[in-house]
Amino acid sequence: MSDRRWQVCGRAGLAWVDWGGEVAIYHRGSGDTHLLDPLAAELLRALESGPRSDADLVSLLSELVSPEPERPPQALAETILGELKRLNIIELIES
């Protein structure tokens, strides 16, 4: 995992609904609605406040998961970021 930087796609923003265990977001730029698990929602909230590096997001996940998670925070971040990118919710910042 390199030190890439990520941001939310578009300037239109996100609308959030939290159901206690899952979060629905409406991406105003695309018009799409997505259901996220709590960890993906936390990463996306961090990105909504501004661009973040891989290291920033792995650090955030490290604080959120149990001391000995099934998957290391780095692997979780890769999976979550890949899925959010696939859904066109986030994008890499070109350097």
Query: What residues make up the domain containing 68?
Result: 5-92
Is-contact 64 42, C-beta < 8 A? Answer: yes
The whole-model pTM stands at 0.87
How many domains is the chain built from?
1
Domain CATH number, residue 12: 3.90.930.60
- The amino acid that residue 78 corresponds to is E
- As a whole number of angstroms, the distance between CA 61 and CA 69 comes to 11
- Cα–Cα distances (Å) from 92 to 9, 18, 38, in that order, read 9, 26, 22
Helix (H, G, I), strand (E, B) or coil at 42: helix
Q: Are 84 and 8 in contact (CB under 8 A)?
A: no
Per-position pLDDT tens, the chain of length 95: 568 999 999 877 899 999 888 899 999 888 999 999 999 999 999 999 999 999 999 999 999 887 777 888 899 999 999 999 999 999 999 87
